Structure 1
């Protein structure tokens, strides 16, 4: 217990600058991994598998990828964008997967069935900030849905609190049926962190209770299967170290993250997510020490009363495409005149972009969410012509299109993790207006004159 107390004290005293330096070290070590000839991504880069990847630059390592051997049709292949991750006490403790695409739903259920998955952790919503992040791979309650040869039925759907949905699913394949449980965490914005650690730790406690003595891997996914997924795997790994009493003086969260990144590319994607692991680990140690000292007492959590399941979920599904969740931050925002802040209107919602990124649905305050008013689509010229990247390293501003015959360049702001990595469809090209006159991304059609006008005098001059 003295070691745990000392470790807790060191976690509490770590400064933000130190953690940022540690994360920069993680990124530099990852650059070395990317040049390691023993780690390859050849399967995910094959022509027939390209469309099975939600993001172009997130491909599983061949050495740790999930290989599908269950064949349900002649067109089935062995590829899915998912990776095995070792745990503290077992070799295949986790499956870190991208959220399934419409074209990979059957592959997703092939993976679940073949690996006898009992518990799924979904760390995303189906739609976030107007973007599809994951296809729905389950069914409404008591309404079976078919995914190829698999029939899935939701037996029960509950909301233990505002942050979580629990679904008990039954999947049938060739006259055999199995039951599994899905935990969906709703309060985790993409590329960001929850506003408190207790909610995630409570989720993981429920997950471990459902997993019980089953030795099958825990399936964890978000959208890309990297950022939020990596954080969950890291926190559960630390918990296993505590339970199996493998914590010693050389305990290092940085090494845990690096080990996970050797098995799943880009796991734990941002500095904020890296810092969150330290915060949650400290909270976890506090719980263990209180429990060992016979002073088990729940943390003071800011909870919101959960609405009835059917009513709340229907409201959410109706608002997902139209509204963005806005929460009041813990501290007041600087005035609008502050040059470090600018208001950017994006299709379907508006949000404020501070110098460091925050999402509309970032639950950074302790108040109930308020749904923002829909604002009109922003014109491209309302965006800044130059901007600094909102994210580090793995996210960049996508270059704009050059106008023919002109030297200037129009830069467009691209939110990382969305269009920048996904394949563009013809509809998306139409929306951006790349085919409009001038080719600079907006309509520059010349207006008709409002009324008749006389031709110039020189047109009617008689030639002599």
Structure 2
């Protein structure tokens, strides 16, 4: 239990920048490992096999590829991946093509696969990512010598569809369950980790003590497939107490990449593993251990800043504002001061800061001192009443006189400086020199109050 708590604390403290740097280290190490172990992809690059690959740059290693025995060709773009325990645990495979559907079911039948995880949709971003290898609900379809019947579909959540398939071959019938995860974009990650963890929990419950390999595929069989294999691999390490103090997600991903090229393909997917493992540990640890060792409510807020604003600033801004007095912030010396009592009067946001985002306030002495800021009372001058300032800057739309108001959308609004009352209005097409936009600002300048014609004495010539 102490190992899990220590691991949780270390993952919780991970900085996103450091995780990104570790991802780059993982990529460079995987390239070096490929050279050191002499990992090759010669079979997948053969002329007769090149069309069986969905992507020409994702080929299985010859040392770990799945070799078909009952087929006209022994090649399929799939790799064996060892699990945390002895024996084969996963088959990482690309989404089958229309020309490889028979090979796909041959692989399933040959290795007695009972559970499939599909982590992609058939069509994504207008492109076909996987050929359908099952039949519609209540119907049957043939793929070479294999007859596949869809006995029923259920949807336990919005993210998962479960299909119960019956596969018959050579007068033998087997059951295969497919878990289709719908909420995982290509080259991206799901919005939440709970969906993937719940999926893996369902898969483990349905498999029980089955020793046959778990078939996992997406489109290429490396990015999303690698993340699922990594999370299930880590879960086995945790529950079998194989995780030690030197546990490293980097080592786990490198082990996967030794067997399947480009497993865990993007930086976001790599970071997703860290977040998901934190959530996984939160589920495994008892509630009293969670409260005793760490604040698990902040687990998912990785990379948050340790610098917090004084609590008094937010509370003061939420109090009613007295307009009779104005308070100015006086910079304090950098030496520490004991926290003082809160000011007797509420705080008014100065006009110079009224254009800041609502609910935020920055003090000049926020950087070093944590004590309460000092305020000095400044009586307002008797200025003529001005138009009220809003919390956010507002913009006026200048409409040319020779256009209808509906055509004002041709103008692009440009944000004004903080201390300026005018906004630049730049038309997409200048209608004329005398248009309001031609002078560079809107037409809120009042008309001159003097006479339009010059005085008569100005026109007299001096002699």
Secondary structure in structure 2 of the residue aligned to 1:66? strand
- 256, 263, 282: which one aligns with 1:260: 256
For normalisation by structure 1, the TM-score amounts to 0.62
What's the offset of the Cα at 1:38?
2.2
Match of 1:335 in 2: none
Equivalent residue for 1:24? 24
> Structure 1 residue 211: deviation in Å?
1.2
The Cα of 1:93 is off from its aligned counterpart by 0.2
Does 2:102 match 1:106? yes
Taking the TM superposition and a 5 Å limit, the aligned residue runs for 1:75-224 are: 76-224=72-220
1:43 aligns with 2:39: no
Superposition deviation, residue 159 in structure 1 = 0.8
Is the CA contact (8 Å cut-off) linking 1:158 and 1:165 kept in structure 2? yes
SS at match of 1:154: strand
Structure 1 distance, partners of 2:90, 2:153, is 24
Task: Write the distance in 2 (CA, Å) between the matches of 1:190 and 1:221.
Answer: 12
Is the partner of 1:27 in helix, strand or coil?
A: helix
- 8 A contact 1:163–1:187 mirrored in 2: yes
**Aligned partner of 1:275 among 268, 271, 282:** 271
* Structure 1, unaligned runs of 5 or more: 302-464
Task: Calculate the TM-score normalised by the size of structure 2.
Answer: 0.62
Say whether the 8 Å CA contact 2:55–2:220 is kept in structure 1.
yes
User: What is the aligned-residue RMSD (CA, Å)?
Assistant: 2.1
| Partner residue, 2:8 | 8
Matched, 1:231 2:238: no
* Residue 294 of structure 1, CA deviation: 11
Counterparts of 2:195 and 2:273, CA distance in 1: 13
Counterparts in 2 of 1:269-308, with a 5 A limit?
269-290=265-286
Instruction: Return the alpha-carbon distance in structure 1 between the equivalents of residues 126 and 200 of structure 2.
Output: 28
Question: 2:76 aligns to what SS in structure 1?
Answer: coil
With a CA cutoff of 8 Å and minimum separation of 6, indicate the structure with the bigger relative contact order.
1
* 3-state secondary structure, aligned to 2:88: coil
In structure 1, distance between residues paired with 2:203 and 2:24: 31
Alpha-carbon displacement from aligned partner over 1:79-99 (angstroms, at most 9, x marks no partner): 000000000013210000000
Gaps of at least 5 residues in structure 2 are 301-463
Among candidates 234, 239, 243, match of residue 243 of structure 1: 239
Residue by residue, what CA displacement relative to the aligned partner does 1:211-261 show, whole Å, maximum 9, x if unpaired?
A: 111100000000000000000000000000011110101101000000100
Deviations 1:334-389 (A, max 9, x none): xxxxxxxxxxxxxxxxxxxxxxxxxxxxxxxxxxxxxxxxxxxxxxxxxxxxxxxx
1:42 Cα deviation (Å)?
0.8
Superposition map of 1:330-341 within 5 A: none
**Distance change >3 Å, CA 108–CA 292, structure 1 → 2:** farther
**Distance change >3 Å, CA 109–CA 269, structure 1 → 2:** same
Deviation at 1:195, TM superposition (A): 0.4
CA contact (8 A) 2:226 2:264 kept: yes
The answer to whether the Cα contact below 8 Å between 1:85 and 1:91 also exists between their aligned partners in 2 is no
Match of 1:183, SS?
strand
Q: For 1:212 and 1:104, how far apart are their aligned partners in 2?
A: 30
SS of 1:112's equivalent in the other structure is helix
Query: Which residue does 2:456 correspond to in 1?
Result: none
Greater CA radius of gyration, 1 or 2? 2
Q: For 1:366-377, list aligned pairs within 5 A.
A: none
Shift of 1:32: 1.2
2:60, 2:78 within 8 Å by CA — same for their partners in 1? yes
Moved over 2 A (4+): 33-38, 290-295
- C-alpha contact 1:99 1:135 (8 A) present in aligned 2: yes
User: Secondary structure of 2:75's match?
Assistant: coil
> Secondary structure at the residue paired with 1:81?
strand
Report how far residue 19 of structure 1 moved. 0.1
8 Å contact from structure 1 (residues 86, 93) kept in 2:
yes
1:291 shift after superposition:
6.8
Deviation at 1:67, TM superposition (A): 0.4
CA distance in 2, matches of 1:222, 1:37: 27
CA-CA distance at 1:292 after TM superposition: 8.5
Q: Say if 1:201 and 1:145 are closer, same or farther in 2 by CA, change over 3 A.
A: same
Contact 2:163–2:177 under 8 Å retained in 1: yes
Report the CA distance shift for 1:281/1:37 in structure 2 as closer, same or farther (over 3 A): closer
